[in-house]
Amino acid sequence: MNTVLLVQSLIGGIIMGSVYALLGVGFSLTWGVMRVIHISHAAFGLIAAFVAYGCLQRWGIDPIASLVFMVPLLFCCACFVYRFLILPVTKAREVIVSSMILTFGIAIIVENIMLLIWGPDPRLITTWYTSRVFIVGPFYFQYAPVAGFVMAVAGVGVIHLFLKKTYTGKAVRAAWQQSDAAQLYGVNLTRISMITFGLAVGSAGAGGVGLALLYSFEPHAHNLWLIYLFLVVIVGGVGNVLGTAAAGVLIGIITGLSLAFLPYQWVNPLTFGLLMAVLAVRPHGLFRSEV
Amino acid sequence: MLAVERLVVKYDELTALRGVSLTVESGALVAMIGSNGAGKTTLLNAVSGLIPTREGTISWEGSLITGLTPDAVCRLGIVQAPEGRKLFAKMTVEENLQMGAYSPGPRARVAESMKRVLELFPRLAERRRQTAESLSGGEQQMLALGRALMATPGLLMLDEPSLGLAPIMAAQIFEIIGDLNRAGTTILLVSQEVLQTLSIARDGYLLENGEITLAGPSERLLADQRVKKSYLGL
């Protein structure tokens, strides 16, 4: 076996997996804290990718720099979506099912808006550093994926610290562990859910831009992204931020290695076969479900 | 002062409270006794705003609080330590206490309250980095009490604080509750432990089937034939 190829594909897998993890943590939080399986999560990430692409084409703004206004913008959009669409649905008896149907509808609408605005052609983000590489020994690294990786680590780290260190983050965890008691001690559930949803969608924007640094994308791409989201969240434990990150890297490694050493048509069957094996042995995922 | 007047609460068509009235004066320790299913927890949850009321009013320090959300009720200083403790199981002892002081008022004094609570419960100080679920039953109850105190309550409502505890532990909890009241905290204590509850409370109410059937000073409740027969087994 070729060691250089092995290490190179391992690194590629870790980079890919960490970006999926960044896209996945918010999905995991909305699922864990709010019991909402947010099907349009990846679609919001994709919007961010398109907007970043547009900003780059038109004004030459770097995609990562564009997150400075994109994340707050997505946060606000998400608060509106939460207030007027998700909140009424959370009063239903079967929140998980009704929220899935609702957000599936949102995903379709968002996808078609993207089709209308940007058309069906695949886009590729090309910055000044896209074709640049730096070489360490026998390995070469492309700037863009490394930038995506750094962003993913920073993003997941920020969300983790938010949940562990800030009062609002602790309230998010408290609301998920024991919602009645959280309310009795002054937590406004609607407000906390809105913040959770806003942060989740905001981080989806960062994850979407991260994926756009790695791959080309078109308005349907979020469907494939979504499948990977389910994968990382189920393996990582619903609501578990660091578990999601670890699962993302793990799945990235599996995909990266199988891409390098197996025929392409075997990659997804292998990945999802492993998912089924994981679920059969550990029905709650590899890591504990917790916030 | 908390004043509840002719409060009616229904779960679908099941009536849980049928016109309950009670008052808790500032600085008092008032007991609410009654059997399982009498409506004691329902009453506390209605005051806390966790469940909607059908008729009647709840007022606090002279203003109406009926219909407020639980977080708004908490901000007014009405703090409930719920039945079954309802701790944040996977959060540490310290985080549970911090969450008790989540409202803006108590949060401004969180360091001070933390010091006070950890002095009151040294066991919690020893275990501040452990998760709540890893504590023993008695320690969990101390944490539940400590978390409630972190909210600097104007009225502390305790729901079955001794449930599931060994008798010696339960006695210790009741002693702490008595001390808290003597130190100035207004308390509404709900419990099935009639004798212990009435021995530390000045006044009491007997709730049966969603109705107050007896009210008055603790001695009078303890001397009542019905209480003796049904709740003290005498």
Least confident of A68-77, A271-280, B130-139: A271-280
Which of A173, A174, A187 lies nearest to residue B71, judging by beta carbons? Answer: A187
Q: Which helix (H) or strand (E) holds B213?
A: strand B211-217
User: Using the beta-carbon criterion (under 8 Å), do A185 and B48 form an inter-chain contact?
Assistant: no
What domains does chain A contain, in order, with CATH numbers? Answer: 8-124+139-281 (1.10.3470)
Strands (E), B47-150: 55-60, 63-64, 78-81
The partner residue sitting opposite A170, judged by closest CB among B86, B98, B151, is: B98
Of A171, A177, A183, which is closest to B50 when you measure between CB atoms?
A183
Chain A residue numbers with beta carbons less than 8 Å from the beta carbon of B74 are 183-186
A265: which DSSP letter?
G
Measured between alpha carbons, how far is A90 from A196 in angstroms, rounded to an integer?
14
Contact A250, A14 (CB under 8 A): no
DSSP state of B183: T
Instruction: Kindly state whether A87 is in contact with chain B, defined as any CB-CB distance less than 8 angstroms.
Output: no
Question: How big is the CA angle at B151 (ends B147 and B156), to the nearest 5 degrees?
Answer: 85
Cβ–Cβ gap B50/A184 under 8 Å:
yes
Characterize the bridge pairing of strands B2-11 and B211-217: unpaired
**pLDDT of the residue at A144:** 87
Q: What whole-number distance in Å separates Cα of residue B232 and Cα of residue A113?
A: 71
More confident of the two residues B213 and A289: B213
Query: DSSP state, B36?
Result: T
Q: How confident is the model at residue B76 (pLDDT cuts 50, 70, 90)?
A: very high
Interface test with A, best of B75, B91, B156 (most A CBs within 10 A): B91
Q: Hey, are the CB atoms on B98 and A182 less than 8 Å from each other?
A: no
Q: Report the share of chain A in percent with pLDDT over 70.
A: 98
Domains contained in chain B, CATH given: 1-77+154-234 (3.40.50.300), 88-152 (no CATH)
pLDDT tens track for A175-211: 989 999 999 999 999 999 999 999 999 999 999 999 9
Yes or no, beta carbons of B87 and A178 under 8 Å apart: yes
Residues 6+ apart with CB under 8 A from A127: A56, A62, A63, A144
Give the pLDDT confidence of B34-54 residue by residue, as tens digits: 988 899 999 999 999 999 999
What's the start-to-end Cα distance of chain A, in Å? 41
pLDDT given at position A291 = 58
Quick check: A170 and B69 CB within 8 A? no
The label of the residue with tokens 């492993």 reads: A274
User: CA of B74: which chain A residue's CA is closest?
Assistant: A186
Predicted confidence (pLDDT) per residue in B105-164, tens digit: 999 999 999 999 999 999 999 999 999 999 999 899 999 999 999 999 999 999 999 988
Instruction: Beginning with the edge strand found earlier in the chain, give each strand of the sheet holding B211-217 in spatial order.
Output: B78-81, B155-159, B186-191, B29-33, B203-208, B211-217
CA pair distance A44, A50, nearest whole angstrom: 10
Q: What is the pLDDT of residues A2-43, one digit of tens each?
A: 888 888 888 889 999 999 999 999 999 999 888 899 999 999
Short-list B6, B11, B23, CA closest to B57: B6
CA distance B80 to chain A (A): 7
